[in-house]
Every structure is written in C-alpha cells, then in structure tokens.
Amino acid sequence: MQLDLPYALTAEVTHRCPLHCPYCSNPIELRQRENELSTDEWLSVLTQAGDLGVAQVHFTGGEPLLRQDLEVLVHCAREAELYVNLITSGIGLTEERLRQLSEAGINSVQLSVQASSAKLADSIAGFNSHELKRQAAQRIRASGLPLHMNVVLHRANLHQIEEIIELCVEWGAQRLELANAQYYGWALRNVQQLLPRREQLQEAEAAYVRARERFRNQIELLWILPDYYEEFPKPCIGGWGRLSLTVAPDGRVLPCTAASEIRSLSFENVKERELSWIWKHSPSFNAFRGSDWMPEPCKSCERRELDYGGCRCQAFLLTGDARTADPVCKWSPHRYAITDRIRSIENIDDHAPAPVYSYRGR
C-alpha cells in the first residue's frame, strides 16, 4: 500500500491532571512526571514532526497546562509551521497564562466539559471544576482565540445533552464534539457504570437532532457514534498508522492514543529512533497497515477497505488478540463480548444511587 504522510500529531506532554474522570482514555498505568520527555526532547519531536509533513499538533495530556514549558513547545511548533491546538480542562488557564500561550502562537483551544449543571459536572470530574471551566471559556473568547469544546457522553449525563449544547452556545463555543464514551483505559474499567441502555441512547440522539436544528447557525456539532450499539465498527482513525501519530509522555510513539494497551506490541521511543523512521519502518506502525494481516471474516469482507477491521485496541482489550475482528462487528466471532455487556446493564434502575467509579489517578 502507498504510505501517506501523517496529518496530525497528538502530543501527550503529561499524564498529570487535576481531574479524575472515570472515562479517561489514558492508560491505567499512568506515566509519572520523572519519566516525561524533557523540554529539549519535545522540541526535537516537534521539529521532526514538521520535517515529516505533519500539519497540526494537539497538545494534550492529562492536563498540558501542568507543563511549565508549554509556551516554549507551542512556539517551537509554530516555528515548525504546525497548526497548534490546545486540549485542556481549563484548570490553570489564567489570563496571564492565556496571554503567554497566545503570544507563543497557539491557534485554538478545545475545552472539556462534563455536564450542564455544576453539581453533576463536578461529581463526574471528581473535582470542583465547572465554574473554573466557565471562567476559562470566558477568557478564551475575550482573547479572540477560537473556542472548541468537547464532552464525553455516558449514562450519567446523556439526559442533559440539549442543556449541554445550550451551555456551550452560551459560553461562546464555535464547535462542540459530542463524544459517546469509548471504552479504553479507565472507561473500560468503569464500563458497567458508564454504558447507557439502548433506550437512553436513542432518546439522547433524538435530543441531539432537536438541538442541531435549534442551534444550526450558532455552533458546529459533531456526534461521535457509540460503537457498542452499531452493527459495524468504526475505522481506526482512518486506518492504523495512516493519518496520525501520538507521542506519549515518556516518548513512546503510538498509532493512536489508546495503542499502549496492546501488550502484544512493542512501541519505539523518540529517545532512540527518529520520528520519520518510526512512522515508515517500525514494526508497530506496520503491524496493521493494509489488509494482509487480516484473518477471516475481515480478509474477505467487502468492508475491509472501509473500516480496516475496526479498532485494534478494542479487539485486544476485549479478546486478548489485536489481530481479530473488532467485537463490535456483527460478523465477529467475539461479538458476545459486546452483547454480554449490553445485556448486563439493560435492567439498571434509573433511580438507583449514583454509581461508584474507579477514578483516574486515585
């Protein structure tokens, strides 16, 4: 297959975070501060990314604002002619910090929100953050930077979807990503507490459609499909190792943010290899490119060039085999791994006590 250049780099500069969200996609084994790449190492990564042809970088974490050198990294990324997006909880985004980041050349900010009401939002985040997020949104808009927002949707907040959209409009967001929870990392550990019933999801999607009509000229809405309830899987970020790459806090280079969960693969590190070599030649990035690796039923499936067999991380986490068909697929021999989870939550009482989560970082 012809190898394209990567379009985007996700720079996970730290796993540290003031929030403790139960759906966090960071790995269960969080990388500690002493294992994070140094400033100079990140500067090298960003320069190499520009040379490789990357067009945009997303600074994320954890909470990237906890890196005191973030402004230096942003400036380097702009020097490398990268579009720079900051993905943040907003905690610590003071007027002065925002001014420094703006002067360094940041292009846009994506702010997370957990719910429309402060009480529920703070409960989900495990931290009293909702008001701080509102203030951060106000500062971003006042600075003239584009404000994008995102919310992870799950059983505890799906009923607020119209109110969440209305809140983001009020806060001045230009774009809102409505991301139904993906069950990796901490979200998989909390799947029984987070997974909605089919009826809840249908009601939420109807609410989304109403809100889309109501606010059609005020905000761009993006609905991320809840794949547990789909017949076919989503493509793995456009296909494994095809569009983007992630650099983890310790320097490992991953085809996607959840790939470190695949224990059967070893991932190269920017401390030891050039980013270009990793993209083009590393065994991990080439493991699931194309279709030669596919077993049946994927190998002869007419959808193999549409979804590329689905998510490799999900396949590994639910079956122990990263090469098998994504269990979301109705033709997967492991489809029961999805249907058993769905069946187990269908009789949950909506009026039951609040769920007890395993919180990230606790």
Domain extents in the chain: 8-229
Q: Provide mean pLDDT across the span 58-72.
A: 97
pLDDT, residue 356, reads 74
Q: Provide mean pLDDT across the span 207-213.
A: 95
pLDDT, residue 348, reads 73
pLDDT, residue 29, reads 64
Q: Is the pLDDT of residue 35 over 90?
A: no
**Distance between CA atoms of residues 161 and 202, nearest Å:** 12
* pTM for the predicted model, two decimal places: 0.93
Residue ranges of alpha helices (H) inside the chain are 39-52, 70-79, 95-104, 118-125, 130-143, 161-170, 185-189, 191-194, 198-214, 275-281, 283-286, 304-307, 312-319, 336-345
pLDDT greater at residue 334 or residue 32: 334
CA triple 51-53-56, angle to 5 deg: 110
Which CATH code is given to the segment(s) 8-229? 3.20.20.70
Other CB atoms closer than 10 Å to residue 302's CB: what's the count?
Answer: 6
pLDDT, residue 33, reads 66
Lowest-confidence region among 222-226, 243-247, 329-333, 358-362:
358-362
Q: What is the share, in percent, of the chain residues with pLDDT greater than 90?
A: 82
Please tell me whether 21 is known to bind a ligand.
yes
pLDDT greater at residue 227 or residue 51: 51
**Distance between CA atoms of residues 19 and 293, nearest Å:** 39
Query: What backbone torsions phi and psi does residue 273 show, to the nearest 5 degrees?
Result: -135, 150
Please tell me whether 17 is known to bind a ligand.
yes
Q: What is the pLDDT of residues 95-131, one digit of tens each?
A: 999 999 999 999 999 999 999 999 999 999 999 999 9
Q: Is the pLDDT of residue 224 over 70?
A: yes
Q: What is the share, in percent, of the chain residues with pLDDT greater than 70?
A: 94
Residues 6, 337 contacting (CB under 8 angstroms):
no
Please tell me whether 76 is known to bind a ligand.
no
Other CB atoms closer than 10 Å to residue 26's CB: what's the count?
Answer: 25
pLDDT, residue 1, reads 56
Q: What is the pLDDT of residues 285-312, one digit of tens each?
A: 999 998 899 999 999 999 988 898 999 9
Q: Is the pLDDT of residue 343 over 80?
A: yes
Q: Is the pLDDT of residue 245 over 80?
A: yes
pLDDT, residue 290, reads 86
Q: Provide mean pLDDT across the span 155-163.
A: 96
Q: Provide mean pLDDT across the span 137-145.
A: 97
Other CB atoms closer than 10 Å to residue 83's CB: what's the count?
Answer: 16
Residues 297, 223 contacting (CB under 8 angstroms):
no
